[in-house]
Amino acid sequence: MTTIQAVRGTRDILPDQVSYWQRVETTARDILTKAAYREIRTPVFELTSLFERGIGEATDVVGKEMYTFHDRDTPPRSLTLRPEGTAGVVRAFIENSLFAQGGVQRLWYKGPMFRYEKPQAGRQRQFHQVGLELLGSPNPRADAEVIAIATDLLQSLGLRDLQMRLNSVGDRVDRQRYRDALVAYLTPFQADLDPDSQNRLTRNPLRILDSKDARTQQIAQNAPSILDHLSPESQRHFEQVQQLLTDLDIAYQLDPCLVRGLDYYTHTAFEIQSDHLGAQATVCGGGRYDGLVSELGGPETPAVGWAIGLERLILLLQQAQPVPTSQPDFYLVCRGEKAEAQSLVLAQKLRHAGFSVDLDLSGSPFGKQFKRADRSGAVACLVLGDAEAEAKTVQVKWLQSGEQQPMSQADLLAMPEILRSEITVVRQVTAHDSV
């Protein structure tokens, strides 16, 4: 019989890898909560028109990469697995009238996204993001705040070799003026551009600046800069963002070719990149999108946000840090009918007291169970045979020192703080000795 495998572009996150994900998610939740961002959870599929209107029909995401299907309604509706998180959050912001609460809405999300792309390291067809959206402020401080939070999150995870690229794509008037200048410059080179860029010349010319084709990049080097086509208001906004980042000691590099891949961006655009990810260098990307809420039917609402790709982030963590393992406090071995029955009760009572307990269910001879206890990384092994079960005692063997002592089960359960303190000391000594 043929073995069923995961669909190409998806992958299992195995127990040894999940600890990385949990660490990232816990750190993100802590930092975002301290910055007054509230979590929002939106559906993984939406009406296709949300992304066509929000992201832009001329983008690669809408034109080539979306997973779109029809449901069983009459007439059938076109639905799409979400390729990114912002459009869904904005739809929820409008539909649930969050704007009516007044002031600024700070929201964050996490979860899977879907794009039909060529799978490679750091890029899957089902991928995961953590993102935030700050809705309701046109102030440059909002731009700087979200960038600062992204920087804090990545640094809190121990990542240091990162570079920030920063640009402004201006407002819609600025961008149209720049688009005209860019098309005028590129048109004489049309035949020399790569096929994708030739198609983009009339549909989405700014995306040509982001081409990975060597010849196209060479042509684009001498293209006019969008920074020379900003209005005085857009220029002031961008200068204030730069000054705020300088005040925050956040290093950045201006990159006039940075345009991002979604049509809704206005003014500030940024990416945080790593040299350790190959072609998929961007770990975090975002910017301002002042027209998206009104484009989707809501009131005029300035907004700014970003998303972090978790697969790429975790690749960096795996390169920099050893696999974090989840080790139990106690490994409980038992043998004998009465001992095996009693062991489950004892394990549950210890778990309720806040300890992690790995209960051996094998029924193997004690020698084999002790070997598994040693491999588990537990601080102590609890030994329960029928004699101990009859006397309501347990043997406590501290695995690092080999010391063993009998103890009544009642006494064991009555001293959780002392046990917790001893476990902490043993873990600290073990960690110090391994350095």
Per-residue pLDDT of the chain (435 residues; tens, 9 = 90+): 889 999 999 999 998 889 899 999 999 999 999 999 999 999 999 999 999 998 887 777 888 899 999 999 999 999 999 999 999 999 999 999 999 998 899 999 999 999 998 888 778 999 999 999 999 999 999 999 999 999 999 999 988 789 999 999 999 899 889 989 999 999 999 888 998 888 888 888 888 887 888 899 899 888 899 999 999 999 999 999 999 999 999 999 999 888 776 678 899 999 999 877 766 688 999 999 999 999 999 999 999 999 999 999 998 898 877 665 678 999 999 999 999 999 999 999 999 999 999 999 999 999 999 999 999 999 999 999 999 999 999 999 999 888 999 999 999 999 889 889 988 888 877 665 554
Three-state DSSP at 424 gives: helix
- Bridge partners (DSSP) of residue 29 are none
The residues spanned by each domain of the chain are 15-171+231-320, 330-427
Global pTM reads 0.87
pLDDT value at residue 69: 96
Rounded alpha-carbon distances, angstroms, from residue 32 to 24, 110, 191, 241, 251: 12, 12, 48, 21, 21
Q: Which residues lie across from 282 on neighbouring strands?
A: 273
Identity (one letter) of the amino acid at 86?
Answer: T
Q: How far is CA 152 from CA 158, 250, 390, in A?
A: 10, 10, 56
Handedness of CA 265, 267, 268, 273 (dihedral sign): positive
Superfamily of domain 15-171+231-320: Bira Bifunctional Protein; Domain 2 (3.30.930.10)
pLDDT value of position 324: 58
Please state, in angstroms and as integers, the Cα–Cα distance from residue 147 to each residue in 166, 168, 272, 284, 352, following that order.
10, 14, 9, 10, 41
**Phi, psi at residue 95, to the nearest 5°?**
-60, -35
* Residues 268/286, Cβ–Cβ less than 8 Å: no
Cβ partners under 8 Å of residue 67, min gap 6:
80, 81, 83, 114, 115, 116
Residues linked to residue 404 through DSSP beta bridges, in sequence order: 397
pLDDT at 102: 85
Question: What is the layout of strands, in order, in the sheet containing 330-335?
Answer: 357-359, 330-335, 380-385, 393-398, 404-408
Cβ atoms of residues 121 and 278 within 8 Å: yes
Cβ contact 167:256 at 8 Å = yes
CB 275 within 8 A of CB 161: yes
Look up residue 422 and give its DSSP letter: H
Closest CA to 383 of 434, 342, 435: 342
What pLDDT was estimated at residue 327? 87
Instruction: List, as own/partner pairs, every contact residues 4-10 make where C-beta atoms lie below 8 angstroms and the sequence separation is at least 24, other chains included.
Output: 7/125, 8/119, 8/125, 9/116, 9/117, 9/119, 9/124, 9/125, 9/126, 10/124, 10/125, 10/126
Do you find a cis peptide bond into 112, omega within 30 degrees of 0?
Answer: no
Contacts with 123 (C-beta within 8 Å, 6 or more apart), sequence order? 117, 280, 311, 312
User: Which CATH code, of 3.40.50.800, 3.40.640.10, 3.40.228.10, 3.40.50.720, is assigned to 330-427?
Assistant: 3.40.50.800
321 to 19, 83, 156, 159, 308: CA distances (angstroms)? 12, 30, 13, 10, 19
Q: What is the structure's pLDDT at 199?
A: 85
